[in-house]
Copies of this chain bind each other. A is one copy, B any other.
Amino acid sequence: MYVEIDFSSEEAIYIQLRNQIIFGIATSQLQEGDNLPSVRELADNIGINMHTVNKAYTILKQDGYLKLDRRKGAVIAIDVNKLKAIEELRANLRCILAEAICKNVSCSEIHEVVDQIFNEFERG
């Protein structure tokens, strides 16, 4: 899996990294049990500091996407808490849909975009 960081972005590097790994999982490029590079290797690879990678990994661990093991390094391990996931989804969607509604985007148009994104992810 390739990681691309936009250094001119306002989004923090560790957030970009976190999101790209989540994208990798959503598109099945990363699967349960897969190893990620070590914090030092990935930091070197991208050209950033080890602590920035470590921060991304730590957050991914807290959010239930990774397990960090001294033996195996960072391993994809999804902790599926569906109720919690749906409540987080709801909170995030509220903000985004509010903006869309202000701009007169209809409910069916939103559903359409949701389906399109879903298809993107399924194709990888």
Contacts and interface: CB of A to CB of B under 8 A. Distances in A.
B105 A96 contact: no
Copies of this polypeptide in the complex:
2
Given A80-B104, A102-B22, A114 B86 contact: no
A46 to B, nearest CB: 20
A111 interface: yes
Interface in A1-51: 19, 22-23, 25-26
Interface residues of A, number: 42
A70 interface: no
Contact of A110 (B81, B89, B104, B120): B89
A23 B101 CA distance: 9
